[in-house]
Structure 1
């Protein structure tokens, strides 16, 4: 504790710092590198505004507007105009120093730090997942630190030396790390490219929705397969050896993955025969709704109450499906209505047609038509028939609207809507019938033995 209160100790520390700076920093080669790095700041500042305007134009480019990751990437680029220019000039200084045979350790240090910082900023803008962002940041700073201290090449040699021989194939720690990083990058690039192609395919109106989905799925599968093959080739895997692996996978599919493969094949069949497509209104079993999307394994059906059912594709192939918009979006609905026998059915039919015609969703051609279906036990049975061309908007709401219009019209013109009635006929016999009304508080009465009175 006394050393912190002793002024001589501070003087000693200051002298040691000056000696270290004199021996390691205040050297002419190092000072020249520092001055050169500071000097390139001037042209970077002069060109900053022009590069910012050039990078800002990317924000109006359509591919950047269609993808959220590209939009974030385009928004952050103008802010990186100065660091991008600075790192370019610093790397030019490093190349000049290497060609001239001068020392360039400080220049390489500054360039590595700038590279790591730019990569982290761009990764944070493109990758929305915080876990992946932190992973990319850790890898970038780790590589920069190894490169700064000169341990990058020795570290690679050490990791490559930790290997084992599996038959004719050599597996090393460095190869595994390189394969994992390559696979992650290639899968991300393949997924990103497939989304871009899918957006472009959806704009080709000459293709039906089913063909658009099929092409997008096949393209994504091809890109992901190519990414995996490239990742395997980076570690020296002989791709011809995959034939044996493919045979083993085929046996596994035949034994344990029958339902999964059946759903995959059913999905391809649905896309090819175009029996259903996104936007179709279907009913399968007790599920009614419109198709939200067609997946490789299942089809998403969205109902009017907000529930989304994931129906396996095999069920859509093997069971009966009602497709209300397969070849024609027009749909006829029927509403049963009953009137009293005391009312005029001709006038009631006219009122029903007018009530249905008031709704905007009901088509004028063919217009609504009300038929007399029969004479029921309690009412004259009518049926309102009408057509709509937007089944995706639901049927319950249009039926409710028409029934409300019928109710108002019947009330206005005194058309009676009957309810079930029953006539009770009592036939007197030899024994008299006595009806007694007892209050809830009174105890139940015991019937007489001779059966002279009964409760009804």
Structure 2
């Protein structure tokens, strides 16, 4: 701390002591203290009378979710501010009357600032619940309110504005850095909050396709944070032409070194616009990756496999390679189960037996087609068949639908007395002694 700052602090303490001494010895100042006390007592009485009436008016039914109900719940949060704000309003009226009558009102003006400080404390201590806002209120709002009460806010602001930090050829005032940090924190917190609210609203619109909802959420997110960035640049006094130059440099960088990132970003926009692949689809790529899409980001899609693993697949792969989407045209999918019977079997009876057995399973659909048993070929030891069936959903691994179907085939063939053969080999032994 330099000598000038120390001298300013000493001068302020001397001035504050002289002011306090003058107030304590002045009858006019005592009358203003009395007015402050009366204003506080009047605010207490009014607050006690109106709160029991205001609270029921602002309390909607728990089941109501309308915009008006949400607005009433939001206004109800600020009830703790009624007492200090009432005291501030009454003090403001008293200040105007005192200045008109006596030409002086410094004590009442001081009391008015104290009531604002109490309102700031009530806001931080009783109203704000978000951890970030409480932190900002505790270490920014309350100190600023305290400086305002003491009449030091302008002096401190001017001192910080005159203190310059140099980084090479760049010069910033400490005030600009603090203002930028506070404004940036608030803007991006507000942007994140707005983005969550808009995303919740868009997700609730069931009439929109999932891909349309994803695209709308991405567009809103880009718009919100883009606006927050531009506002921050304006608050900090940064010329937006510099941002344009930076954007041009960034474009060159993307063209030279960030081609894959740019390709994946553009691919994500194409995927969302086309809507042929979206969250919830079960897909299989040429590279063998398959699973349910659980998240789509600007860079990649995240697939969740049936064993709980997550596979991160760059968006570009969905554009440049073949993708099998089992969910795009509906939730019904066809599977098949292979089996064999003995050559001694009357194979003309097998299709009816198997189709009836598989058709009795509760998860097998009759539309778009019922179970269909087909002869596939004649093997070395058995006649090969396959039964095709439709189910409503994706086979969760190999044993969700396939296992019950194979059990049904086995039991049906056993009941009909049809043998399922296994390979036989004839071994011929020759006696070399002969």
The answer for unaligned runs of 5 or more in structure 2 is 1-20, 100-104
Distance 1:176 1:392 in 2: 58
Q: Mark the CA change 1:169 to 1:57 in structure 2 (over 3 Å): closer, same or farther.
A: farther
Distance 1:93 1:132 in 2: 29
**Structure 1 residue 392, shift from structure 2 partner:** 7.5
Q: Mark the CA change 1:396 to 1:150 in structure 2 (over 3 Å): closer, same or farther.
A: farther
Map 1:97-108 to 2 at 5 A.
97-100=94-97, 101=99, 102=105, 103-104=107-108, 105-108=110-113
Deviations along 1:52-92, one digit per CA (max 9) or x if unpaired, are 223322865537899xxx89x948x64652x2221321221
Tell me the matched-pair count.
Answer: 402
Contact 1:87–1:114 (Cα < 8 Å) also in 2 = yes
**Structure 1 residue 400, shift from structure 2 partner:** 1.6
For residue 345 of structure 1, what is the aligned residue in structure 2?
Answer: 347
**Structure 1 residue 258, shift from structure 2 partner:** 1.7
What is the DSSP-based 3-state SS (H/G/I as helix, E as strand, rest coil) of the residue aligned with 2:278?
Answer: coil
Q: Mark the CA change 1:48 to 1:341 in structure 2 (over 3 Å): closer, same or farther.
A: same
Distance 1:135 1:277 in 2: 39
Which of residues 122, 126, 148 in structure 1 aligns to 2:127?
Answer: 122
Contact 1:214–1:268 (Cα < 8 Å) also in 2 = yes
Q: CA RMSD in A?
A: 3.3
Contact 2:334–2:391 (Cα < 8 Å) also in 1 = yes
Map 1:104-253 to 2 at 5 A.
104=108, 105-124=110-129, 127=130, 130=131, 133-163=134-164, 171-253=172-254
The TM-score with structure 1 as length reference comes to 0.78
Q: Mark the CA change 1:52 to 1:58 in structure 2 (over 3 Å): closer, same or farther.
A: same
Q: Mark the CA change 1:426 to 1:24 in structure 2 (over 3 Å): closer, same or farther.
A: farther
Which of residues 86, 90, 94 in structure 2 aligns to 1:89?
Answer: 86
What is the DSSP-based 3-state SS (H/G/I as helix, E as strand, rest coil) of the residue aligned with 2:193?
Answer: helix
**Structure 1 residue 322, shift from structure 2 partner:** 0.9
Q: Mark the CA change 1:379 to 1:74 in structure 2 (over 3 Å): closer, same or farther.
A: farther
For residue 288 of structure 1, what is the aligned residue in structure 2?
Answer: 290
Deviations along 1:207-262, one digit per CA (max 9) or x if unpaired, are 32212211221121011101110111012111122221111111222233222111
**Structure 1 residue 370, shift from structure 2 partner:** 0.7
Distance 1:395 1:251 in 2: 49
Contact 2:81–2:122 (Cα < 8 Å) also in 1 = no
Contact 2:363–2:391 (Cα < 8 Å) also in 1 = yes
For residue 47 of structure 1, what is the aligned residue in structure 2?
Answer: 50
Contact 1:356–1:402 (Cα < 8 Å) also in 2 = yes
Contact 1:169–1:237 (Cα < 8 Å) also in 2 = no
Q: Mark the CA change 1:47 to 1:145 in structure 2 (over 3 Å): closer, same or farther.
A: same
For residue 299 of structure 2, what is the aligned residue in structure 1?
Answer: 297
Q: Mark the CA change 1:305 to 1:202 in structure 2 (over 3 Å): closer, same or farther.
A: same
**Structure 1 residue 379, shift from structure 2 partner:** 2.2
Distance 1:213 1:348 in 2: 49
For residue 383 of structure 1, what is the aligned residue in structure 2?
Answer: 386
The answer for unaligned runs of 5 or more in structure 1 is 1-19, 432-456
